[in-house]
Structure 1
Amino acid sequence: MDQTLYIRLRHRIQVRPDDELTIGTIAQLSGDKELIETVRALIIHRISKADKNMVVIDVMRVIDLLRKMIPNLDVQPIGASQTIVEILYDKKPFKPVLFVLVWLLLFIGAAMAIMNFHEDVSMQAVHQRLYRILTGKTVDSPLLLQIPYSLGLGLGMILFFNHLFKKRINEEPSPLEVEMFKYQLDLDQYVSMNENKESLKKIDDD
């Protein structure tokens, strides 16, 4: 009697160089407990320097390995057909000088963007007119409006990005996180299409 194994590949996993990828690492398994324990430790790929930063494991490769090991096994794939394996190498040491230079570049760039925007919309003239409407006086620097506006601008940025340093304000994702999520999905789709050797077929392969 054929044994049935349900397998669902994980979308993305992270590993270290020289790790061994097993069926249990890249997929969720469902079926007979003894069968799962048997196939869980099967090695599907060994990470090497040739893999660089990414490896794509196709479900057909997994099925072929399982059928070779257990000829009568009935494999039922569910969900994604590829697993993207990201290889994490040791991080480079922290460089304070480079950090300060990048921080200054971003700070000056953000400040210039905000000032240029305010100049384009004549924000100072708007504040002067509002101050004259509210108080009946004309001043060049209506600090009564400009100081709260500046503080509110900073507070608005914190609420917009939903983070205060590393602390999240609430569980709702920020617009930046949503855009990064969309970018990651597009990147994963690109990697799946271009790094998956099982799905690529060239003229020379004929």
Structure 2
Amino acid sequence: MQEEKVYIQLKKKIAVDKQHLLILKDVAFVTGNIDYLEQLETLKIYQITEKDNNVSVIDGFQLLDTLVEAYPFLSVELLGANQVIVEIKKNDKKANFFLILFIWMLLCIGSAMAIMNFHYDVSMEEVHQGLYFLLTGEQKDKPLWIQIPYSIGLGLGMILFFNHIFKKRFNEEPSPLEVEMFNYQQDLDHYLIYHENVLNKRDDS
């Protein structure tokens, strides 16, 4: 007789509504050689409550314990990650136009000040004047035909560097900002998993 066996691969992160009852197919991909696979996928795993706040973590061993209790003769193999991060959706609020405008102006002014201070520190005006003198042999306080293309090129360079202009992407390569955001999200997920495991150990003790 062939052994009844299922393979479970936990999802890395899911998002659910408040008070959602998590079932197996919500938190994992399931396959196997059993006839009751669809029934297994609807196995109740965890009930989201108010105590979970914004995030909860489902541990693989917790999942296996539930499976063994419900199906004691089923052979289960856990693949991949050992935890699932469950984000609990908040009530969507309408964006405040004036708040967005204020933040946009704050970022714009801050970026402009940073660029201006950088150019002042490296004496960019004197560099342009020296470049103008090398090319023409004349001294000029405001070599606009160098400064204007330089300013335009600075803006175009920023657009190409971040690989975006509004919502349009130039190619599939991620921008440095997207890479940094991805790394930050990875670190945040690792912290949530570690923090949740520490709390569980304290509760158990």
TM-score w.r.t. the length of structure 2 is 0.94
> Structure 1 residues 200, 47: closer, same or farther in 2, change over 3 A?
closer
- Cα deviation per residue 1:42-92 (whole Å; 9 max; x = unaligned)? 121122222111010001111111111111011100110000011111222
State how far apart, in whole Å, the 2-side matches of 1:100 and 1:150 are.
25
Contact 2:22–2:45 (CA under 8 A) maintained in structure 1: yes
State how far apart, in whole Å, the 2-side matches of 1:131 and 1:62 are.
71
Contact 1:57–1:83 (CA under 8 A) maintained in structure 2: yes
How many residues align? The count is: 204
State how far apart, in whole Å, the 1-side matches of 2:91 and 2:197 are.
25
What letter matches 2:52 in structure 1? Answer: D
> Structure 1 residues 42, 205: closer, same or farther in 2, change over 3 A?
closer
Unaligned runs of 5+ in 2: none
Mapped pair 1:14 → 2:11: no
Partner of 2:144: 143
Partner of 1:50: 51
State how far apart, in whole Å, the 1-side matches of 2:168 and 2:48 are.
35
What letter matches 1:51 in structure 2? Answer: D
Question: Helix, strand or coil: the match of 1:196?
Answer: helix
- Larger mean CA deviation between 54-63 and 16-25 belongs to 16-25
Identity %: 51
Contact 2:13–2:86 (CA under 8 A) maintained in structure 1: yes
TM-score w.r.t. the length of structure 1 is 0.93
Question: Moved runs in structure 1, 4+ residues, more than 6 A?
Answer: none
Contact 1:57–1:196 (CA under 8 A) maintained in structure 2: no
